[in-house]
Amino acid sequence: MPPNFFNSVLLICQFELKRLFSTRKGLLYIITFAVVWYFILLYPIRYASDLLGRQQSSGHGSTFFEFIGFGSLMNWQIPEFGVYWRFALIMFPILCISITADQTCSDRERGTFRFLTLRISRGRLFFGRFMGAMVIQAILIITTLITTLVLTVYRDGSLLSSAFNSSVAIAVNLLIVLLPFTAMMAALSATIKSAKQSTVWAILIWSFLAGIISGLSSYIPVLDNLKVLIPGYQMTELAQLSEWQPLHLAYVPLLQSFVLLIIGYWIMSRQTL
């Protein structure tokens, strides 16, 4: 008997994980990511948190960090996670665009989708691939957070519980931030022929959408509210928030994701394979 919706999505999700962890291409990607992350952890996070820690204890730091636009870092209980949060808000969305650009396009162009859609519906395939992309990103986020937690506890063992709380808060918030980016790439991937083209289109759409809305809102200020349509538009505000505070803005990415997934599913269900 064919599996139900949930089990089909789970099977596709598992297969996407297999693609990452058991194929040469996937392993190469993990190794590259690990090397890049090692340097980020070792230099910016460790040294910046050392500096922050010293400034916090001396009491003169906030003015300097506020002067350079990083005052919000002082709101974090543990400086390592403050620096992580600022880095992650830039790094993970960029990473998301590159790793989730090929959710469906190359399979569709190759005809592999034909084999799959004979067995499961396009909807299950679409949402399964989306879930797979989210799970992969969740694994990367959790891994990087664990390494940051280890670094923090190595510096000061008494910070374990606060570090754990910050890690969970960041993981949840970061995943919510990445939802609309992944959903947008899912929608683009459903209609565009290659991963490279999806990435280019994503950048163009973001730039033009932001440009057009900014241009129009200078004449009609109320149109500035349309910025809510742009995935990640709340990032500047998020960077100023710490720990669990970003959850107050979670409705924006959740709403964007919902709309983008509906658009993506609509495209996918009408696409010629």
Question: How many whole angstroms separate alpha carbon 180 and alpha carbon 170?
Answer: 17
Phi, psi dihedral angles at 145 (to 5 degrees) = -65, -40
State how far the alpha carbon of 114 is from the alpha carbons of 31, 125, 192, in Å: 32, 11, 17
Q: Is 118 in the site for other proteins (CB under 8 A)?
A: yes
Q: Which member of 46, 86, 124, 129 binds other proteins (CB under 8 A)?
A: 124
d(CA 234, CA 43): 28
And the tokens for 201? 């289109």
Among 35-43, 105-113, 154-162, 182-190, the segment contacting other proteins (CB under 8 A): 105-113
Interaction residues for other proteins, span 19-48 (CB under 8 A) = 19, 23, 25
Residue 6 touching other proteins (CB under 8 A): no
| Interaction between residue 110 and other proteins (CB under 8 A) | yes
Q: How far is residue 48 from each of residues 18, 242, 273, measured CA to CA in Å?
A: 36, 17, 50
Site for other proteins contains 273 (CB under 8 A):
yes
Two tokens at 108? 């569709």
220 scored as a contact of other proteins (CB under 8 A):
no
Whether 103 contacts 133, CB under 8 Å:
yes
Is 194 near other proteins (CB under 8 A)?
Answer: no
Span near other proteins by CB under 8 A; candidates 15-23, 138-146, 225-233, 249-257: 15-23
Q: Which residues bind other proteins (CB under 8 A)?
A: 1-3, 8, 11, 15, 18-19, 23, 25, 107, 110-112, 114-122, 124, 270, 272-273
